[in-house]
Amino acid sequence: MKLFFLSLTFCSIGFYATAQRTIDQRVDSVLKLMTLDEKIGQMNQYNDDWNATGPVTLDSTKRQQLRNGQLGSLLNCVGTRRTRVWQEVAMQSRLKIPLLFGQDVIHGYKTTFPIPLAEAASWDLEAIELSARIAATEASSAGVHWTFAPMVDIARDPRWGRVMEGAGEDPYLGSKIAFARVKGFQGNGLGNTNAVMACAKHFAAYGAAIGGRDYNSVDMSERMLWEVYLPPFKAAVDAGAATFMNAFNDLNGVPATGNRYLQRDILKGKWKFNGFVVSDWGSIGEMIQHGNVKNEYEAALSAVTAGSDMDMESRCYRNNLAQGVKDKKVPVRLIDDAVRRILRKKFELGLFDDPFRFCDAQREQAALNNPAHTAAARQVAAKSIVLLKNEKNLLPLSKNTKTIAFIGPLVKPKKQNKGFWDVEVPGVDSNFIVSQWEGLQNKVGNTATLLYAKGCDIEGDDRSGFAEAIEVAKKSDVVILSIGERRDMSGEAKSRSNINIPGVQEDLLKELLATGKPVVVLINAGRPLVFDYTAEHAPAILYTWWLGSEAGNAIADVLFGDYNPSAKLPISFPRSVGQVPIYYSHFNTGRPAGNDDDKNYRSAYNDLSIYPQYEFGYGLSYTTFQYSNLELSKRKMRIHEKIEVSVTIRNTGAYDGEDVVQLYLRDKVGSVVRPVQELKDFAKVKLKAGESKTLRFVIDKEKLSFYNQPLQWVAEPGDFELMIGASARDIRLRDRFELVQ
Ligand code: GLC
């Protein structure tokens, strides 16, 4: 009888629609009705059977489990049609608790933006937020409530394939980008049907895997963790990230998934995070492999105690938590806390008021065919292209060029341009992606003769295509060569010991250069590659990463000067894999090598330059910029005072363009050693040819602070060097100031 009454009540519109009641009251009213089995069900997430982003467990009972109230979320289920079908099953459960749909919308849903590392190279926080905003608009129109993004792992080892997914090596830039991406995904707040929950991942320090080998152990000092790897996660909390995802790695011997210090002490304690934490795919069960627990029962207890609220795919919670409660090993209050956190988000998304509010097929069609999204993707892609070299101003090419040879294995493929972590959208093929060949045709197809040759494959040593490529090159006025790696050579489980441009592609370049024709090289990759032959001999190089669905048009915009490249590297490019790890904000050591001649008894390789091939913050333009008039409002600053910094930047070239002015500081003496440089601010500024602008920055205590030996966040009196640069190495202006007691 009681159940009948309850179900009757729930059917009435009134119960969940009492908006006046706070969400927490509404959560509690549902929690009170739930059995332990139903509570554990909310902590359970499965992969849909449509596609997979991890090792699949065959399980034909998912729908029945959902009807029984034993499933709280699905991932890899997209589209209004498919999500509606699953949600209808959820509505057959006793309490009709809506299902949560999560998806890796990492750099676009249908409209694909540049891979995150490429976008980071734009240093354009508005563009980065816009990209996430559009991704959320499209994904939410297709039934997705939650994206497993932004990935905010600092990464300094390009052997790690997931370097493509983050914002590079620097905590300051990484934090600004993390904030922008969370804001973009969540828009005007959960509850809007164009907002999705963000998910800061992978908590924490996953990018510091030893040897750049994915899933490998991470071992670092507390200070390094707090100073370098945690700041972007804190920025995500500050931006209001709804969820976090923990990580596969063990950190200093404790798997992140079972790491109470990370998830309870830092995230939910010190940072007061009120969202929920999802495990990574199967990571709860993987604690057995780590050798941190004996079996799934112990894994479940360890993870829930440590603060992992939802179990992605391992089934450890589903199969063991009830027993853990019965054995009094898991207090129900921990289960209740996890379930409250999950239900709160479902209420905030409005799913209890209308479980189908994200299942509007008309809105889906409109969002997935919005020309404004395509235009934005083209702009963000152009902003992400880094000009690495441009001898004798070979670029931009003239639109009156008569004959252009476009050569290489990446000229014609479409899907390659999407990079890793693209979304397979139901009913959408890759034809909408603009290939690099199509981009060139769109730009100059009516005025120039375009010649094509593949030349060679991405991998392998087949040179049989060289002859045709050489013939094509000889007939042209200029050659564009598009080379690099395959899109699936960077990404999850894609660590590489050799990060040279694969195959015989650089040999092809050598042959093409021998024709005497000018060659512009496009390098397509998800990570910094090593290409010292190209770096030395190609007259012009554009790093085009993986630029997404408008790649061809964006590349053509830059090649022909309709967009003046403005991107700057968010990560150091090594000269060889032997130089890894190499990053700009290193300590000085007791025997610093000041330059390439100074190597005896110096911290340097005797067989290699001390400098990376290209440093953090590096990127050229078709114009030039001059920095001048660096002024500080004072040179002695008390702890609670500020210093106003002003600097004038002038566009001294012939093209309108944008530059990223970077402000670095060096704390000359610290109770612990301090890096030789730290990025503390930047400004991306657009200037017409000949135009000047004065930029202003503020130095405050926060910018001077660091974690001392006892891990206190302090600013210590002493001398500071201030550097204004166009890159970490191209320092144009310097000054000093003192922090006094
Ligand atoms: C993967 C990734 C994680 C992703 C999840 C779901 O293994 O590590 O970043 O969000 O599984 O696809």
Q: Do 417 and 541 share a structural domain? A: yes
> From the alpha carbon of 202, which atom of ligand 1 is closest?
9
Tell me the backbone φ, ψ of residue 265, rounded to 5 degrees.
-65, -50
Kindly report the backbone phi and psi dihedral angles of residue 505, in degrees, each rounded to the nearest multiple of 5, phi listed first.
-65, -40
The residue behind tokens 């000018």 is 518
**Would you say 263 and 308 are in contact if contact means Cβ atoms under 8 Å apart?**
yes
**Radius of gyration, alpha carbons of the chain:** 27
Residue nearest (by alpha carbon) to ligand 1 atom 3: 280
Nearest-atom number in ligand 1 for the CA of 54 is 7
**Is residue 374's pLDDT more than 50?**
yes
- Residue 51 lies inside a defined structural domain of this protein: yes
- Cα dihedral across residues 519, 520, 524, 530: positive or negative: positive
Pocket test for ligand 1, best of 115, 244, 281 (most atoms within 8 A of CB): 281
Is 141 inside a domain boundary? no
pLDDT at 57: 87
One domain, residues 407 and 361: no
d(CA 382, CA 554): 5
pLDDT at residue 42 is higher than 60: yes
Q: Tell me if 456 is assigned to some domain.
A: yes
Mean pLDDT of 197-216: 98
pLDDT digits (tens, 9 = 90+) for 659-701: 999 999 999 999 999 999 999 999 999 999 999 999 999 999 9
Lowest-confidence segment of 47-51, 480-484, 704-708 by average pLDDT: 47-51
Q: What one-letter code names the amino acid at 162? A: R
What pLDDT is stored for residue 53 in this prediction?
Answer: 87
User: Among this protein's residues, is 280 annotated catalytic?
Assistant: yes
Count how many Cα atoms sit within 13 Å of the Cα of residue 308 in the half-sphere of its side chain.
36
Q: How far is CA 66 from CA 62, 88, 355, 546, in A?
A: 6, 10, 14, 38
Question: Mean pLDDT over all residues of the chain?
Answer: 96
Do 481 and 427 belong to one domain? yes
Phi and psi for 348 in degrees, rounded to 5? -60, -30
Q: What is the pLDDT of residue 13?
A: 46
CB of 53 sitting under 6 A from ligand 1: yes
Q: Are residues 420 and 548 in the same domain?
A: yes
**Residues of 607-642 as b/e, b for ≥16 C-beta within 10 angstroms?**
eeebbbbbbbbbbbbbbebebeebebeeeebeeeee
378, 385, 376: which is closest to 566 by C-alpha?
Answer: 385
- Residues 347 and 481 reside in one and the same domain: no
- Structure tokens of 82? 């498919």
pLDDT at 21: 65
d(CA 246, CA 152): 12
Cβ 492 under 6 angstroms from ligand 1:
yes
- Torsion angle in degrees (nearest 10) through CA of 625, 631, 633, 634: 130
Whole-number Å distance, alpha carbon 126 to ligand 1 midpoint, is: 26
585 CA to centre of ligand 1 in angstroms: 29
Residues 542 and 676 in one domain: no
Tell me the C-alpha distance between 347 and 24, whole Å. 9
Report the distance separating Cα 296 and Cα 298, nearest Å.
5
First to last CA, the chain: 74
Evaluate if residue 51 carries a pLDDT over 90: no
What phi, psi does 10 have (nearest 5°)? -65, -30
The residue from 552, 579, 606 where one domain ends is: 579
Query: Within a 10 A sphere around the Cβ of 48, how many other Cβ atoms?
Result: 17
Residue 604 located in a structural domain: no
DSSP helix/strand/coil, 514: helix
* Cα–Cα dist 263/269, whole Å: 8
Pocket probe mutation, ligand 1, options 492, 494, 495, max atoms within 8 Å of Cβ: 492
Residue nearest to atom 8 of ligand 1 (CA): 280
SS3 of the chain: helix, strand, coil, percent, to 5: 35, 20, 45
148 lines ligand 1 (CB under 6 A): yes
* Backbone torsions φ then ψ of 296, nearest 5 degrees: -65, -35
For residue 422, what is the domain's CATH number?
Answer: 3.40.50.1700
Indicate which CATH number applies to the domain containing 721.
2.60.40.10
Burial 132-151 (b: 16+ CB within 10 A, else e): bbbbbbbbbbbbbbbbbbbb
Do residues 18 and 29 make contact, with C-beta atoms less than 8 angstroms apart?
Answer: no
> 358 and 398: one domain?
no
Residue 317, in any domain of the structure: no
Q: What is the pLDDT of residues 134-192, one digit of tens each?
A: 999 999 999 999 999 999 999 999 999 999 999 999 999 999 999 999 999 999 999 99
Q: 556-589: per-residue pLDDT in tens?
A: 999 999 999 999 999 999 999 999 999 999 999 9
Q: Are residues 526 and 670 in the same domain?
A: no
**Pick the catalytic residue: 280, 360, 667, 681?**
280
Q: 703 and 569 in one domain?
A: no
Task: List all residues 6 or more positions away from 429 whose beta carbon is below 8 Å from its beta carbon.
Answer: none
Residue finishing a domain among 579, 610, 644: 579
Q: pLDDT digit string (tens) for 638-647?
A: 999 999 999 9
Q: Strands 478-484 and 519-524: what pairing?
A: parallel
Task: State the angle between helix axes of 171-186 and 231-238 in degrees (0 to 180), rounded to the nearest 10.
Answer: 30
Q: Do 361 and 399 sit in the same domain of this protein?
A: no
- Tell me the average pLDDT across 125-142: 98
**Which of 519, 545, 579 finishes a domain?**
579
Q: Which pLDDT band, with edges at 50, 70 and 90, does 741 fall under?
A: confident
Report the DSSP beta bridge partners of residue 453: 407
Does residue 293 lie in a domain region? no
681 lines ligand 1 (CB under 6 A): no
Measured from the Cα of 199, ligand 1's closest atom is: 10
3-state secondary structure 680-699: EEEEEEEECCCCEEEEEEEE
Rounded to whole angstroms, the maximal C-alpha distance in the chain is 89
Task: Give the Å distance between the CA of 524 and the centre of ligand 1.
Answer: 24
Q: In terms of Cα–Cα distance, which of 154, 225, 252 is closest to 616?
A: 154
- Measured from the CB, is residue 54 less than 6 Å from ligand 1? yes
**CA 139/CA 106 separation, integer angstroms:** 11
pLDDT in tens, 437-451: 999 999 999 999 999
Angle, helices 316-326/332-348, rounded to nearest 10 degrees: 140
Helix (H) or strand (E) holding 321: helix 316-326
CB 621 within 8 A of CB 653: yes
- In this prediction, residue 6 carries a pLDDT of 45
Tell me if 149 is assigned to some domain.
Answer: no
Q: CA-CA distance, 345 to 351, in Å (whole number)? A: 9
**Residue 148 belongs to a domain:** no
Residue 367 CB partners (closer than 8 Å, separation 6+): 137, 138, 141, 142, 373
Q: Which domain holds residue 89?
A: 1-101+331-369
- The percentage of the chain sitting over the pLDDT mark of 70, rounded to a whole number, equals 97
CB 204 within 8 A of CB 211: no
Q: In the predicted model, what is the mean pLDDT of residues 499-522?
A: 98
Phi then psi dihedrals of residue 218, to 5 deg: -125, 130
Contact 515, 481 (CB under 8 A): no
For a substitution probing ligand 1, which of 215, 243, 280 has the most ligand atoms within 8 Å of its CB?
280
Distance between Cα 56 and ligand 1 center (Å) = 12
294 C-alpha to ligand 1 centroid (Å): 24
Instruction: Determine the atom of ligand 1 nearest the C-alpha atom of 248.
Output: 8
Residue 741 CB coordination number (10 Å): 6
Residue nearest to atom 10 of ligand 1 (CA): 148
Whether residues 340 and 410 share a domain: the answer is no
Show Cβ contacts of residue 715 under 8 Å, excluding neighbours closer than 6 positions. Answer: 639, 701, 704, 705, 706, 739
Ligand 1 atom at minimal distance to the Cα of residue 104: 10
Atom 11 of ligand 1, nearest CA residue: 281
CA 104 – ligand 1 centroid, Å: 7
Report percent pLDDT > 90 for the chain: 95
Taking CA atoms, 392 is separated from 1, 523, 538, 604, in Å, by 86, 20, 12, 33
* Beta carbon of 104 within 6 Å of any ligand 1 atom: yes
Of 389, 379, 481, 386, give the one whose Cα is nearest residue 436. Answer: 481
Strands (E), 345-436: 386-390, 403-407
Which amino acid belongs to residue 425? Answer: V
CA 620 – CA 462 distance, rounded (Å): 34
Q: Quick one: tokens of 721?
A: 């060097």
- Residue 361 and residue 423 in one domain: no
Distance 10 CA to ligand 1 centre (A): 35
Determine if the peptide bond prior to 202 is cis (ω within 30°). yes
Q: How many domains does the chain have?
A: 3
Strand partners, 390: 540
**CB-facing half-sphere around the CA of 2: CA atoms within 13 A:** 1
Mutate to test the pocket of ligand 1, among 245, 310, 494 (most ligand atoms within 8 A of CB): 245
How many angstroms separate the CA atoms of 684 and 239, rounded?
Answer: 21
Beta strand 540-543 pairing with 519-524: parallel
Question: What pLDDT does 433 receive?
Answer: 98
Distance of alpha carbon 89 from alpha carbon 66, whole angstroms: 7
Please give the distance, rounded to the nearest whole angstrom, from the Cα atom of residue 150 to the centre of ligand 1: 12
Distance from Cα 697 to the centre of ligand 1, integer Å: 38
Per-residue pLDDT of 224-265, as tens digits, reads 999 999 999 999 999 999 999 999 999 999 999 999 999 999
Four-residue CA torsion sign, 494, 497, 503, 508:
positive
Residue 452, strand partner residues: 406
201 lines ligand 1 (CB under 6 A): yes
Q: Give the C-alpha separation, 331 to 326, whole Å.
A: 9
C-alpha of 628 from chain center: 34
Nearest to 428 by CA among 17, 116, 138, 720: 138
